[in-house]
Amino acid sequence: MNYVELARGQAAQIIADAYRKACENGLLPQCDLPAPIIEIPKDLSNGDYASTFAMRNSKALGKGAPAVAQAICGCAELEGSFFSEVSAASNGFINLRLSHLWFEKALLAIHEEGENYGRSTQENPLNIMVEFVSANPTGPMHMGNARGGVLGDALAEVLSRVGHRVTREFYVNDAGNQIDKFARSIEARYFQLIDGEDSLVFPEDGYQGEDIKVLAALYRDMHGDALKNEPAEKRLEALGEFGISQNLPKMKLELERYGIVYDNWFYESSLYSSGAVERAMDALVQSGHTYESEGALWLKTTDFGCEKDDVLRRANGFYTYFAADIAYHSEKLGARGFDIAIDVWGADHHGHVARLKAALDALGLDGARRLEIVLMQLVRLTRNGEVVRMSKRTGKAIALNDLLDEISVDAARYFFSSRAADTHLEFDLDLAVRQNSENPVYYVQYAHARCNSILKNLSADGIETNPQNAGLNLLVDPAEADLIRELAQLPEEIRLAADSRDPSRLTKYATQVAAALHRFYTECRIKEAEEELRTARIYLINCVATVVKNTLSAFGVTAPDHM
RNA sequence: GUGCCCGUAGCUCAGCAGGAUAGAGCAACUGCCUUCUAAGCAGUAGGUUGGGGGUUCGAGUCCCUCCGGGCACGCCA
């Protein structure tokens, strides 16, 4: 149950009713006004909720905002609501104060819902696919993939928590030029192993990493030198397939270590073998938005507001990556039955967004609305203040696995979750490794450990620590009220994270809950409190533990019982 | 050159749909452990929200412009 939403709704209703009553009493003129906006002020000294109704409508009502606010307050009926007090501020704000009933109800809901607290349902649940990471299987994953991984995973999680049906997918780019490049790189290393360093010139645009040498050596160990005398085409195919067959399981393991498990791994190559690419291209030709020029097949993306048209099939007869991507996404939104497809992409692909949407629009799939791209700014990796370029081609990428050897999965996931996708993220390796207790993740986890520790301690003294619904009306200390207000916020935070496609706000929320707990812990004793109050505080502590755990689990971070 | 993203405290960043006195963490300084975990709490100091215009009762938030940084503009993926 979302008590923030409930209170907000009640407040809006109270003010709307009060306005109607003020009109009947001749205090205010009858106008057609928009629904009152209710906000939670930063500074709670004036009230728990506030409305800007008077300021917003003072012009329409022909009266000053303070006068409007006073008229509203005079007519407001609080009976049966969660509010105990309504007042007009001199600048026109209408302030409402929550009654203790609200605090008690909010706590009861947390305990009742337990690990489901924070979840909600949709009237019309959507079938949503979140596709993320989709790193090229040509080498180990880097920091950008690490960021995209938690972002996509957490996004999928919050979407499912608000009641949608969510599928996590990894798109395996096992076709196209970069695979050819990959195969030629392994080939060069393979020949170097057999015939010495100068046997075959290393491709200029090849993959330089050590992992390529390892793959070549592994292939030779397993299959010998026979491939050397095969035709080049057959050799490259064998080496490319071998490389992918080695890399892909490693990537799966790496992602699992990182806490990410996909529902489905979708292979680009399957789009060709299933005929999906052909079908999509035929459909595009049927749509009338294509033409042939200089031997190539073009899509008129300019029909949909793009700056220039794009090639679908090259003059050499091969389809472009764009063509495969159109086929892939038309399958998602068509045959595979997803209402919405969300892709998490690196910002370096942003130029691709408009034309993919355009292509889907041409196919009648409403790409403008049903395809959502979350663009993630690239991670700038620095070491000793120096920028480290992250590319698989140069072999200088820092692997996700290497990072996880240095810091915990929890620390890595929290760090990458803590900033919105569109912020430029700087990741200092030395700092990350050193960060330990300075990392906010420990601050939050400590809050959970503290709750548990208190309960364990009390339990050892023979005190009942299972939540007992009694004395909740005694929780009136400001530190207790602040804490409960924070706890009540979780369902709202998850809803906002899902709606705005931005789970990073939950790390900020987690920090706020932890801060409120730590303040409460300092201000309010539990062990020495009088029995009824102690019982109520034990109830509260149990709720805090639930909320911290449910928040951290949204981005895959654990809530330890002790630290 | 064109398009997208960013610019808030010394550093890393919040600021929800325009609202009351712009907030956290780190770093600095001052206090708080014989009492439930000090991985904590309280306090001090730190700001022309990149500059300049505009919109209005009100702008960090919206619009324009300039400055600075990142990314992209392939018959690569």
Burial class (CB in 10 A: 0-12, 13-18, 19+), A216: buried
Under the banding of pLDDT at 50, 70 and 90, the label for residue A177 is confident
Select the more confidently predicted residue: A215 or A208: A215
Q: Mean pLDDT across the stretch A157-174?
A: 96
Is pLDDT above 90 for A439? no
pLDDT number for residue A397: 62
Q: How far is the CA of A505 from the C1' of B44 (A)?
A: 30
Task: Name residues whose C-beta falls within 8 Å of residue A182's C-beta, 6 or more positions apart in sequence.
Answer: A138, A207, A212, A240, A243, A244
Is pLDDT above 70 for A42? yes
pTM, entire model: 0.94
Q: Which chain A residues in 223-252 sit with Cβ < 7 A of strand B?
A: none
| Residue A95: strand, helix, or coil | strand
Is pLDDT above 60 for A392? no
Under the banding of pLDDT at 50, 70 and 90, the label for residue A401 is confident
Rounded Cα distance, A119 and A102, in Å: 19
Please state whether beta strands A386-388 and A83-88 pair in parallel, antiparallel, or not at all (unpaired).
Answer: unpaired
Under the banding of pLDDT at 50, 70 and 90, the label for residue A336 is very high
Is pLDDT above 60 for A232? yes
Q: Mean pLDDT across the stretch A460-473?
A: 91
Nucleotides of B under 7 A from a protein CB: 2-6, 12-17, 19-21, 23-27, 35-42, 57-58, 69-77
Asked whether A268 and A171 are in contact (CB, 8 A), the reply is yes
Q: Mean pLDDT across the stretch A510-517?
A: 92
Mean pLDDT of chain A: 91
pLDDT number for residue A470: 86
Q: Which chain A residues in 121-160 sit with Cβ < 7 A of strand B?
A: 136
Asked whether A511 and A440 are in contact (CB, 8 A), the reply is yes
Burial class (CB in 10 A: 0-12, 13-18, 19+), A94: buried
Is pLDDT above 60 for A477? yes
Under the banding of pLDDT at 50, 70 and 90, the label for residue A172 is very high
Rounded Cα distance, A189 and A343, in Å: 35
DSSP classification of residue A162: T
Q: Mean pLDDT across the stretch A512-535?
A: 92
Q: Which chain A residues in 389-418 sit with Cβ < 7 A of strand B?
A: 418
Q: Which of A51-55, A142-146, A401-405, A437-441 has the weakest average pLDDT? A: A437-441
pLDDT number for residue A34: 86
**Sheet containing A83-88, strands listed edge to edge, beginning at the edge strand earlier in sequence:** A38-39, A49-51, A94-98, A83-88
Is pLDDT above 70 for A395? no
Burial class (CB in 10 A: 0-12, 13-18, 19+), A246: middle
Q: Which of A96-105, A236-245, A401-410, A432-441 has the weakest average pLDDT? A: A432-441
* Tens-place pLDDT, residues A26-38: 999 998 888 898 9
Lookup: tokens for A369: 């609305």
Q: Which residues pair with residue A405 across a beta bridge?
A: none
Q: Mean pLDDT across the stretch A1-23?
A: 94
A14 Cβ nearer than 7 Å to chain B strand = no
Under the banding of pLDDT at 50, 70 and 90, the label for residue A385 is low
Q: Mean pLDDT across the stretch A170-181?
A: 92
Phi, psi at A205, each rounded to 5°: -100, 20
Rounded Cα distance, A11 and A37, in Å: 9
Q: How far is the CA of A202 from the C1' of B2 (A)?
A: 37
Identity at A524, one-letter amino acid code: C
Please compute, for residue A499, the number of CA atoms within 13 A of its CA located in the half-sphere on the CB side: 8
Is pLDDT above 60 for A393? no
Under the banding of pLDDT at 50, 70 and 90, the label for residue A434 is low
A479 Cβ nearer than 7 Å to chain B strand = no
Residue keyed to tokens 């489905």: A264
